[in-house]
Each structure stands twice: as structure tokens, then as C-alpha cells.
Amino acid sequence: MTDIKKQQELASELSTKLWDMANVLRGNMEAYEFKNYILGFIFYRFLSEKTEDFMIEELKNDGISYQEAWNREDFKEDVIADLLETLGYVVEPQYLFSHVIGMIEKGDFTIEYMEKIIGSIEESTLGQESQEDFIGLFEDMDLKSSKLGREPKQRGQLIAKILKTIDSIDFRLHETDVDVLGTAYTILIGNFASTAGKKGGEFYTPTNMSRLVARLATIGLTNVRSAFDCACGSGSLLLMVGDYVNVRKYYGQELTSSTYNLARMNMMLHGIRFQNFEIINVNTLENDERFGDLKFDVQVANPPYSAKWSADPKFLEDERYSDYGKLAPKSKADFGFLQHMIYHMEKGDSRIAILLPHGILFRGGAEETIRKYIVKKLNYLDAVIGLPANCFHGTTIPVCCLVIKKERNGNSDNICFIDASQYYHSGKNMNYIDEQDIDRIVDAYINRKPINKFCHIATLDEIVENEYNLNISRYVDSFEEEEIINIAEVKANLLKHIEESKALDAELDDYFNQLGL
């Protein structure tokens, strides 16, 4: 069995157990609300067990336990320094997950103790390099919520039940050759997204769509200095880039604070060290101060479709938008995200793969001006790929993927158009694409050869003739001719059936007469 297959099977098994647990324990709470608790406590156990594993290795030559080292003044300071340098945080011995389970079994656990644990972990990072990766990380786990119980004792009993159930599941943290927990966590996020309706689309891109986008953005690359997602959600799409290339550092921006917290947890659960990622909570379109000067090798995104933004005229002076002479409309910020990403492209072989609604391909006004600038002035648009409808959480509309490249080598006089809208499989509530569908799209993009009803390589002259309208149907003829109907044959068959019907009627009349009816 390959490592990838083993990882997927073990992760699927683990995520199923975790999902079943979540459904049993959530009671009357909506799955979407309960996710913050389940995912948060899984993350707490992860941090705790990473701490224990690190300290066992660190202290093995000293022959003492983590608790003993903590109690000794000649060890404690060094222990804290080592934990902060390597892991970025400290879970004190009395706050370890294993210790809490012991407290639960003795009946000593309280909700207030859990609050102390969370506060202690965050406080341990204050003033440290890892501070921004941990501050407010658990704020969505509202342990005072009446939905967990009216009284502290009731809330404590439910949390204890959750922790005990999590403890009963093997996280396979010691499967060194595969990332089981990280993959299971991603699957679990997807499960919560599928129950959240429209909200699910705000924090999760279906796995195979993420695979497609990541592959399109990394073709021919092996190592990249940076990968960026300007609307990163839970971080799953951004992390997928690392499945295809070695990424030195991940960067992400996310507007929603609860999703921002989820993205930071997701990074760490996938083994990304705190020094190797920077996720910030910010309105990407309105505020670029933090990442303003940064340029990225690979960018991927699935931003909110046709989102609203201020479109304040002051942004015509913003370097990200000023060259275009127009801003994305107030009610449709789609091009705003793309302009932001283009501005942040590194010199050389920098790429973008972004999912957007089809309207950006043909709408007029300001969007037409921006589209024309990207195609004619920059000449960065390398491919337009139409995808099936109903493949994303919260929307049934078909979406397209744009591939943007600074260095287009021998393709600077053409654009690859692919219509993959009919290549999908029907699921329970959504359609989905599989590995074969992904391979078909990626192969067509790489080979850039015409394929009947699927792929067309349009010259820039064709684009000009179509007045920079990029609607895929103008370039890929997917029309299926209807079979020519032979009217004479149809008429002959009809007359034949009429005669047969008359004969049957006569036969029935004969039977009825014999029966005296």
C-alpha cells in the first residue's frame, strides 16, 4: 500500500470515529456550532501529546519525568525555553490531556479547570515569536455557553464526556510516514461544512477541487519559497499546495475570526511549525498593510463569490488596483481578489490558480476594463477552465478556474480554454470530480492541444475578435447535435402500432362477447 493510500484510509477511519462522536455528543446543538468544541478539544489533545512526546525525548538522558523536571528549579527554566523554541507553546504538566483524563476518572474535573488550561497555553506564548499563532486561538470554545448546560456542573460533565470520548480514539500521532491526524482533521472540517449549508462554503473547499487548484498552480515546480491564499478559510486549500511542492513558508489572510482560528489549528495539526506559517485575520480587499510588500511564488484561492466590498474611490490610489483604472463593483468583489493576488506575484515564474464565478468572464463595465487589462496589457492569463455546477458548499452555480502566470514561455500568444462542466459524479447533496477528472483537466492544460468539445487553444486575435469576452462557450463548442429524425419512418411505425392496437381491441371485444359482457 502506498503512503498516500495508507494515509487516506487511516484518516478516513479516524475521521469517521470523530464524526460519529460529534453527532452523539452534540445533543441539541447544531453541528456547525458544535464544531468549535470538537475541533478545539482535538487540537488541545494534539498540543498536549506533542508536548509529552517532546519532553520524553528531551529528558531521556536525565532519567526524570516532565513533572519532575518542572518541579526542579535547575530544570524548569530550560524546559520552558526548549518548549517555546521548538513547539512555540507550553502545556504545563498539570494541564496535560492525560492528567485531565485522570482527573475526570477521579471526579475532580471542573469546567473552570478547563478554562485555566486554555488560558495557560495562550499566556505561555505572550512575547514569544509564536504569540500571533496562538493568541485568541481557543476563543470560539465558549465554555460558559448555556448550550453546553445551564449550570457550570452540567457544562463540566458534557466537556468531560467529550474529552473522555476523544481519549478513547487512537490519533495515530506516531505514524511517522503519514499525516493521519492532519488529513482526518481536514475530512472532519469537510463534514462540518456539508452540514452548515451556505456557511460551509465560507471555510472549506472540497478536497478534490483543492487538489485540482493546487496541481494547476504547481505544475513543473519542486520547491517554492512561499505559498499564499488571500481568502484561506480553514487553510485546507493552502495546505494542499504542500502535497505537490516543498513549501518553505505558508501565508494566509482570513476575514472571519472563527475561521482564522481554524486555519491556524489546521496548520499545526498538519505538522507545519509556527515559524513556517503566517495567517492573519484581516479584510483582504480593504487592508493590505501587513503583507503589502510581500511577493509570493504560488497563490491559490477560492474567495467568496460576488462578495460585497466598499469600492471606495480612495482605492484607485492603492497600488493593487491603481493600474487598472477601475475598481471591482461594490456588489461583486471577484476581480478585487484577483487584482490583489496579481499585485503580490513574485518576479519570475510566479503563478495563481483561483476559483471564481463565470460572470467575471463576460460581464461589462468596470469588470470588462479589468479583464481587458489582465489579458491585453499584462498578458498573464494562461487558462480558463469551466467546472461542473453544484460542486461547492453553499452554492449550486458553476465556477471557473483561472490560471495566471507571469512567465508564459511559448504560450504568450494564446489562452487555453477547457470546458470540464460535464465531467463529474453525483453525490448525495453535491456533485464532485474524481482523480480521473482532475487528470483529464491537468493533462489538457499541460499539452495545450485541441480536444473536440473539451479544449481549445485560442489565439489572442480570437480574444480581440470576441471583444475580450472570455465566455468558454465562445471558444469550446460543446453543443451536441441532435439525431436527425426520419419522419417517414416514425409515421410508418405509428401507423403500424395503430393497426396493432385495433387488432387487440377487436380481440378483446370477441372475448367480452363470449363472456356475455
More confident residue, 395 or 70: 70
C-alpha cell at 343: 499585485
Output the pTM of the full model.
0.88
Question: In this predicted structure, which of 100-104, 166-170, 331-335, 504-508 has the lowest mean pLDDT?
Answer: 504-508
| Structural domain spans, the chain | 1-195, 207-474, 486-516
Q: Which amino acid is at 463?
A: I
C-alpha cell at 75: 530544570
Taking residues 52-79, report their average pLDDT: 93
At 483, the pLDDT band (50, 70, 90 cuts) reads low
Question: Do β-strands 381-386 and 414-419 pair in parallel, antiparallel, or remain unpaired?
Answer: parallel
More confident residue, 268 or 199: 268
Residue 333 neighbours by CB under 8 Å, 6+ apart: 285, 303, 304, 306, 307, 308, 309, 311
What pLDDT, on the 0 to 100 scale, is given for residue 465? 97
In whole angstroms, give the CA distance from residue 294 to residue 226: 10
Please check the confidence at residue 302 and state whether its pLDDT lies above 80.
yes
What pLDDT, on the 0 to 100 scale, is given for residue 1? 42
In whole angstroms, give the CA distance from residue 347 to residue 130: 29
pLDDT tens digits, one per residue of 427-476: 777 888 999 999 999 999 999 999 999 999 999 999 999 999 999 999 99
In order of 48, 79, 131, the CA distances from 127 in angstroms are: 21, 17, 6
Please check the confidence at residue 181 and state whether its pLDDT lies above 80.
no
C-alpha cell at 185: 482533521
C-alpha cell at 245: 511542492
> In whole numbers, what is the pLDDT of the chain averaged over residues?
89
- List Cβ<8 Å contacts ≥24 apart for 310-318: 310/286, 318/288
Burial class (CB in 10 A: 0-12, 13-18, 19+), 285: buried
Unique residue bearing C-alpha cell 476523544: 166
At 398, the pLDDT band (50, 70, 90 cuts) reads confident
What pLDDT, on the 0 to 100 scale, is given for residue 493? 79
In whole angstroms, give the CA distance from residue 318 to residue 312: 11
pLDDT tens digits, one per residue of 69-113: 999 998 999 999 999 999 999 999 999 999 999 999 999 999 999
Please check the confidence at residue 3 and state whether its pLDDT lies above 90.
no
In order of 151, 497, 506, the CA distances from 500 in angstroms are: 80, 5, 10
Which residue from 402, 348, 353, 407 is spatially nearest to 379, judged by alpha carbons? 407
Taking residues 406-425, report their average pLDDT: 94
What pLDDT, on the 0 to 100 scale, is given for residue 25? 66
In whole angstroms, give the CA distance from residue 334 to residue 286: 13
Residue 393 neighbours by CB under 8 Å, 6+ apart: 193, 194, 196, 197, 198, 200, 201, 204, 206, 430
In whole angstroms, give the CA distance from residue 399 to residue 257: 26
Residue 305 neighbours by CB under 8 Å, 6+ apart: 334, 356, 357, 395, 397, 399
Unique residue bearing C-alpha cell 469546567: 111
**What is the torsional sign of CA 3, 192, 203, 158?**
negative
Q: Which helix (H) or strand (E) holds 354?
A: strand 351-357
For residue 136, report the phi and psi dihedrals to the nearest 5 degrees: 70, 10
Which residue from 262, 34, 310 is spatially nearest to 161, judged by alpha carbons? 34
Burial class (CB in 10 A: 0-12, 13-18, 19+), 208: middle
Residues 337 and 367: beta-carbon distance below 8 Å = no
**What is the torsional sign of CA 133, 42, 31, 195?**
positive
**Comparing 1-195 with 207-474, is the CATH topology the same?**
no
For residue 320, report the phi and psi dihedrals to the nearest 5 degrees: -70, -30
At 171, the pLDDT band (50, 70, 90 cuts) reads confident
Domain 1-195 grouped into CATH 1.20.1260.30? yes
What pLDDT, on the 0 to 100 scale, is given for residue 267? 95
Return the exposure string of 142-178: e unless at least 16 CB atoms fall within 10 Å of the residue's CB, then b.
ebeeebbbeeeeebbbbbbebbebbbeeebbeebeeb
Fold exhibited by the domain 207-474: Rossmann fold (3.40.50)
Taking residues 268-273, report their average pLDDT: 92
